[in-house]
Homo-oligomer: A and B are copies of this chain.
Amino acid sequence: MSFNTFGHMFRVTTWGESHGPAIGCTVDGCPPGIALSEADLQPWLDRRKPGTSKFTTQRKEPDEVRILSGVFEGVTTGTPISLMIENTDQRSKDYGDIAQAFRPGHADITYHQKYGVRDYRGGGRSSARETAARVAAGGVARAVIAALAPGLTIQGYMVQMGPRGIDRARFDATVVEENPFWCPDPVAAQDWAAYLDDLRLSHNSVGAVIEVVAHGVPAGLGAPLYAKLDSDLASAMMSINAVKGVEIGDGMAAASLTGVENADEIRMGPNGPEFLSNHAGGILGGISSGQPVVVRFAVKPTSSILTPRQTVNVKGEEIDLITKGRHDPCVGIRAVPVGEAMMACVLADHLLLDRGQTGGMRGRIGGV
């Protein structure tokens, strides 16, 4: 129900604005007895941190996460885990120009229309800075997953920058961490570097497509019909700033397939049924099948750009607006760790939900 809470049993409530004293979240429903420390969470935050390359905002935030509750002597206690990240590098003066004007393509205008008041500094609540709290919560979710489904892994990467996609034939998961774009295609990564540099210097920005894959997801997570695993993933990804589309498996391209093509045929393997393809993205009828769970989402280009755009101000005057400040030319880059975090939160939640309802029972196939 809540406006700022996500999840059914593993529930995350985030709070905070870009230029307030801090941002953070409360994770409720975490199982007890799980090893957790700030050192477990910090590496995930460091991956999302701004200023790690010239392709992201130059705001300098250490993004140090503090655990304020719910952990005692190194393990979770089953009570709410409060996480806080201080905001340290705020240049609110950068935002004087947008205090009374509305950036085209930005939430400035709708926040004003709905609430009549908004914290305009750095986008306030609508800032991508909020996603740091998601990444911290995702770190807790990963600890839960490690305990409940040990073989489960999650990896995100960028598959398209602007109109430029990767070549799947060159897909190499090991290069993802080695370039500033989380790109699994080393050739594309080089191409994107030049492309994004040009865009940045021409005072422009660009969108991206991110793919997040979870391997080792047990069959049986999810539920009909409004807590479907894919429905919750769609909600999770669409809740990330600037996301405009979400796909599971073949996604929008599934519309072009025939039933013969789309059927992921099944054979028996040594450990149970095996699928010959994965058009479904690991989810059938809202429930995981044991195949890799594949989600993709599109991030629109940053709306804060140095190129003047036509807009209006609070007085209703027509103006041309240039947005100064330190903005990401491709905010999709930093969305990769965020997408991973949301995948982790959804899977941790459904692991608990499934255990609650079914006790983890599984229908057998061929006695397995």
Q: Of B31, B241, B283, which one neighbours A359 at CB under 8 angstroms?
A: B31
B105 touches A3 (CB 8 A): no
Indicate whether A28 reaches chain B with its CB closer than 8 angstroms.
yes
Indicate whether A337 reaches chain B with its CB closer than 8 angstroms.
no
Interface-located stretch among A57-65, A174-182, A183-191, A229-237: A229-237
B251 touches A248 (CB 8 A): no
Indicate whether A49 reaches chain B with its CB closer than 8 angstroms.
no
B17 touches A69 (CB 8 A): yes
Interface-located stretch among A39-47, A114-122, A149-157: A114-122
Q: Of B73, B114, B124, which one neighbours A358 at CB under 8 angstroms?
A: B114
B259 touches A15 (CB 8 A): no
* B residues in contact with A16, CB < 8 Å: 68-69, 80, 82
Indicate whether A56 reaches chain B with its CB closer than 8 angstroms.
no
* B residues in contact with A265, CB < 8 Å: 104, 309-311
Size of interface on A: residues with Cβ below 8 Å to B: 169
Beyond A2-B29, A21-B68, A102-B266: 9 further Cβ-contacts under 8 Å?
Answer: A4-B226, A9-B357, A31-B359, A32-B114, A79-B119, A110-B222, A111-B287, A114-B219, A252-B298
Looking at the assembled complex, report how far the CB atom of A84 sits from the nearest CB atom of chain B, in whole angstroms: 8
Q: A1-B8, A115-B363, A250-B244 are in contact. Are A228 and B219 (CB under 8 A)?
A: no
Of A15, A126, A161, most buried by chain B (CB within 10 Å of CB) is A15
A263 touches B104 (CB 8 A): yes
Q: Of B231, B266, B367, which one neighbours A235 at CB under 8 angstroms?
A: B231
Of A250, A256, A276, A361, most buried by chain B (CB within 10 Å of CB) is A256
Can you list 23 A-B contacts (CB < 8 A)?
A3-B29, A4-B224, A5-B28, A17-B72, A29-B357, A77-B117, A104-B266, A107-B287, A110-B287, A113-B219, A116-B363, A126-B285, A162-B255, A163-B256, A231-B235, A245-B245, A253-B298, A255-B300, A259-B301, A261-B301, A265-B309, A316-B365, A356-B356
